[in-house]
Amino acid sequence: MLGDWPRRLGRLLLLLVLGFAGLSVLLVLMLRVVPVYGSMVMVERKVQSWVAREPIRIEQRWRGWDEISDHAKLAVIAAEDQRFRHHRGFDLVELRRAWEASRNGATLRGASTISQQTAKNLFLWTGRSWIRKGLEAWFALLLETLWPKQRILEVYLNIAEWDSGVFGLEAAAQHYFGVSAAQLNAYQASRLAAILPDPRGRDAARPSPQVERRSAWIRRQMNNLGPGYLQQL
């Protein structure tokens, strides 16, 4: 009996893995059609505020694809993932560039796609670890397999963090510019996209010179991509 414990443990682990895989597939399928009003990163920020005894109010309002400015959609793609339309969740070109840059002594930069960022924000937590990256890859693969590209971008725009307690494009547009997500112009959209790498340390309404330079670069990239990019998602 005692000699059977490795086999029993292996069977238990296999059942746990299969159960997790099945539940995650069902969850991703459900969220393909259900509006997303929260994320694990929102939960994480709330818990952090309780621990620090610095309460924050989470602001997030769901807006569907047709209620979001095309300028904002294109700006985020231009800033975060210009090969979004072509890859299947992982940008191998950017990964290779990041690896080569790190080998040449540069700081290892991120190469996460919008699919990976959606997976992380929706299902996981911030911070860096191999476990989180592995789970992020799993959920990104599920999103790419089970959701259309439009849905991935739609959910990302509704759960991305844009300031302390400010999540989603509608809340960000109201917070910084006093307009709805549908009313954002190219200039405002590029500023919002420019602060995404450090949303709690940058300000879209009162941008630093660095944010202004990045937003100008994003607008040039938007022009290069063209409005037809969105029609091909």
Model pLDDT for residues 26-39, shown as the tens digit of each residue: 999 999 999 999 99
Contacts of 228 (CB under 8 A, 6+ apart): none
What does the pLDDT read at residue 15?
86
What does the pLDDT read at residue 164?
95
Whether the CA torsion 140, 142, 145, 147 is positive or negative: it is negative
Question: pLDDT tens digits, residue range 82-119?
Answer: 999 999 888 777 666 655 555 555 444 457 899 999 99
Distances (CA, A) of 19 to 12, 23, 61, 180, 214: 10, 6, 32, 41, 44
Name residue 152's amino acid. Answer: I
Domain 36-231 has CATH 1.10.3810.10: yes
- Number of Cβ within 10 Å of residue 1's Cβ equals 5
Distances (CA, A) of 67 to 30, 111, 153: 21, 29, 13
pTM to 2 decimals? 0.90
Question: pLDDT tens digits, residue range 111-136?
Answer: 789 999 999 999 998 888 899 999 99
Are 115 and 152 a contacting pair, CB within 8 Å?
Answer: yes
Place of tokens 């959910």: 155
Question: pLDDT tens digits, residue range 58-74?
Answer: 999 999 999 999 999 99
Are 63 and 170 a contacting pair, CB within 8 Å?
Answer: yes
What does the pLDDT read at residue 9?
78
Question: pLDDT: is 142 or 2 the higher one?
Answer: 142
The residue ranges of DSSP E strands in the chain, in sequence order, are 161-163, 166-167
Domain range annotation of the chain: 36-231
